[in-house]
Chain A
Amino acid sequence: MILIDSIKTFGEYLLLMKRVIAKPERWRVFFRQMLHEMYQLGVNSIPIVLLISFFIGAVICIQLKLNIESPWMPKMVVGYSTREILILEFSSSIMCLILAGKVGSNITSEIGTMRVTQQIDALEIMGVNSASFLILPKITALMTMIPILVIFSIAAGTGGAFSIGKFTGIMTPEDLMIGFQYEFQQWYVWCSVIKSFAFAFIITSVSSFYGYRVTGGSLEVGKASTNAVVSCSALILFADMILTQLLMQ
């Protein structure tokens, strides 16, 4: 039963996406909205991304230093591993999981509220493709902003780790710097960015889907937001597994 339900839901999602991918009625209106969403979803997420990345970077560094390092291991291992963890997983996948909570619930409640207060009906009556009008700018906006967020996250995380070396004295900043630069692979950063594109699409499209199909009142909007975040997170982790497998081979 659950399997049939999920297949049905997935079908509905695909049908909605078919309506979303349409040429905007007016490019002027579309770009205005996209700009607004880039600010709303992207720029407004920068503080939380910087904050969390900085501290996680610092904590990873401390943990590695205290638990991994031993006399027979080179001193630069801590910096090297911190960098790899940040670039390979944290700054794309985990950061997007966090964004799913912030941005996803935001999108679902916005679109859900528009649904229950008949604003979506009003759009339809005017002859606007409401699905495309509301959802497409969000998808394109977050996909445009996500590489910037990923880069910011990597930078903030590295900064957090570096500040441990600089201010705590449990290790020298020089060792860290050598580690940060050791065998740097540009491709890994690209992998991170590519993965984040997929996650941005999942976050915006799935949470829009949950908002768009709300029926009832504000209570249902709240439930839909929660469900959207859970689904986004699960899908991000699943996509992460597949993409990592594909990209890293």
Chain B
Amino acid sequence: MIEISSIYKNFEEQAVLKGITAVFDSGKTNLIIGRSGAGKTVLLKCIVGLLDPDKGKIKYDGRDIVTFNKKEKMLLRREIGMLFQSAALFDSMSVLENVMFPLDMFSNMTYKERIKRAQFCLDRVNLLEAQDKRPDELSGGMQKRAAIARAIALEPKYLFCDEPNSGLDPQTSLRIDDLIHDITKEYKITTIVNTHDMNSVMGIGDHILFLADGNLSWEGNKDEILHTTNETLNDFLFSSDILRKVRNMAKK
């Protein structure tokens, strides 16, 4: 479980986050949604500690990381898996080596055990046959899956995904979403996903937070979101005709 309270973040004169308070439960996919530029990435970076918030508390199962020193942060990070917008695979290594990397660095397993664990993770994301390829030989969706395998190699307690679907076709997006959802349930991970993809919202939104103008404008789950009266959220969600029709059908 991750609790954040009154997170503020400014970049020079621009206030990006204006006091965000939220709780992210374990075993649930928590979605942060909002327009491009709403501050989703900044919020996620504050939570993982890549950026320091100007004010506020961030607690990982009761441990406040804002007060952590460098060493403590590093130790906590071994419990964290993160999926970046650009997959961020190490392009000097093969897919298998990428997944083995966190194990090489932080586990005390033997070489054989590390290979086995890495192959298990690759199998989990259905990518075992591509283990010897280089990242640039993979499609966008395969890169994302490899990145997921790398993120779960050390059995993280917390998983963060920044726009896991950006640049993917709808079908591949669904597979990635399902994978994230299943893994979250399977290993009882606290998962936070940034997205502006409506399919994800409707598909895996156990807990949804809507970010607008640096504030938390709405909070709920995927069933409640269809019946919201929040104007900004409705504008954001049902920006296209088709989606509006779907909503009207759902209401009937």
Contacts and interface: CB of A to CB of B under 8 A. Distances in A.
Interface string B25-67: 0000000000000000000000010100000000000000000
Interface residues of A, number: 16
Interface in A13-65: 25-26, 28-29
Interface string A112-131: 00100111011011111100
Nearest to A124: B50
A29 B105 contact: yes
Contact of A128 (B48, B105, B160): B105
A127 B91 contact: no
Interface string B60-104: 000000000000011111101010111011110000000001101
B11 interface: no
A127 B78 contact: yes
B242 to A, nearest CB: 33
Nearest to B84: A118
Contacts of B102: 126
Contacts of A25: 105-106
B110 to A, nearest CB: 12
Given A125-B48, A125-B50, A126-B105, A118 B85 contact: yes
A121 B84 contact: yes
A26 B103 CA distance: 11
Contacts of A26: 104-105
Contact of A127 (B75, B86, B88, B104): B75
Contacts of A124: 50, 77
Contacts of A129: 74
B77 A125 contact: yes
Contacts of A128: 105
A56 B97 CA distance: 43
Given A26-B105, A29-B104, A121 B75 contact: no
B88 A121 contact: yes
Contact of A118 (B73, B75, B88, B101): B88
A124 B89 CA distance: 13
Contacts of B77: 124-127
B88 A122 contact: yes
Contacts of A117: 86, 88, 91
Nearest to B83: A122
A119 B91 contact: yes
Contacts of A126: 77-78, 80, 101-102, 105-106
Best-surrounded residue of A118, A119, A122, A129 (most CB of chain B within 10 A)? A122
A203 to B, nearest CB: 20
Interface string A76-119: 00000000000000000000000000000000000000100111
Contacts of B78: 126-127
A28 B80 CA distance: 23
Nearest to B79: A127
Interface in B143-182: 160
Contacts of B106: 25, 126-127
Given A117-B88, A118-B85, A125 B80 contact: yes
Interface of B: 48, 50, 73-78, 80, 82, 84-86, 88-91, 101-102, 104-106, 160
Give 7 nearest A-B pairs by CB, closest first.
A127-B77, A118-B88, A122-B88, A127-B74, A125-B82, A118-B84, A127-B78
30 contacts: A25-B106, A114-B90, A117-B86, A118-B86, A118-B88, A119-B88, A119-B89, A119-B90, A119-B91, A121-B88, A122-B84, A122-B88, A122-B90, A124-B50, A125-B48, A125-B50, A125-B82, A126-B77, A126-B78, A126-B80, A126-B101, A126-B102, A126-B106, A127-B73, A127-B74, A127-B76, A127-B77, A127-B78, A127-B80, A128-B105
Given A122-B90, A125-B50, A126-B77, 8 more contacts: A118-B86, A119-B89, A119-B91, A122-B82, A124-B50, A124-B77, A127-B73, A128-B105
